[in-house]
Amino acid sequence: MSHTTSGQPPRQRLLQTPLRRVRGSGSAKQGTHHWWMQRVSSIALLPLTIWFIVSLATSAGMTHVEAVLWIRQPLNAVLLLALVALTFQHTASGLQVVIEDYTNQEWLKIALILAVKGICWLLGIAAVLAVVRIVALPIAV
């Protein structure tokens, strides 16, 4: 059978069960989860990022003591931890899509995505540890 521009497309027997099709999870078995989490993190990052940029832009010449005291404040520490976690989540999944779109060798694609995820986890842990350490400093600096 052939199909041309004018002809009707051929029908094909489905190898999927109706349940599988209804679930809509596709071959990656995640459905729209990756896409959806990218939107959710972007909505959360919107106020967090604006808060962070405005906070730092209005206090550019901070000394070390001023910076530590600013990070130590409970509200700032909570928002910083949320910002760091969401930033690295959003960055890793955003870069993953870019890699998936432009890499055509499967091994390279997997290697790059794993490398990005690894770096994002390590930098994220380092940033979280830094905030926690500053909050836990025993003395007033």
Partner 1 sequence: MSIMQDSREATMVGRRSDGTLIRRPLSPHLQVYDMLQMTSAISISHRITGIVWVAGVVVMTWWLVAAAAGPRAFDAVQWFLGSFLGILLLMGVIAAAWFHTLAGIRHLAWDAGWGYDIPTVYKTGRAVLIGTGVLTALTWLALIVSW
Among 43, 75, 139, 140, binds partner 1 (CB under 8 A): 43
Among residues 65, 66, 46, which one has the least CA distance to residue 56? 66
Residues in Cβ contact with 12 at an 8 Å cutoff, skipping those fewer than 6 apart:
none
- Cβ 99 vs Cβ 113: under 8 Å: yes
- Cβ 79 vs Cβ 45: under 8 Å: no
Cα–Cα distance measured from residue 72 to residue 6, given in angstroms and rounded to the nearest whole number: 69
**Which of the ranges 25-33, 38-46, 106-114 carries the binding residues for partner 1, by CB under 8 A?**
38-46
**Which of the ranges 26-34, 54-62, 107-115 carries the binding residues for partner 1, by CB under 8 A?**
54-62
- Contacts with partner 1 by CB under 8 A lie at 1-3, 5, 9-12, 14, 16, 21, 39, 42-43, 46, 49-50, 52-54, 57-62, 64-65, 67-68, 71, 80, 84, 87-88, 91, 94-95, 98, 123-124, 126-127, 129-131, 133-134
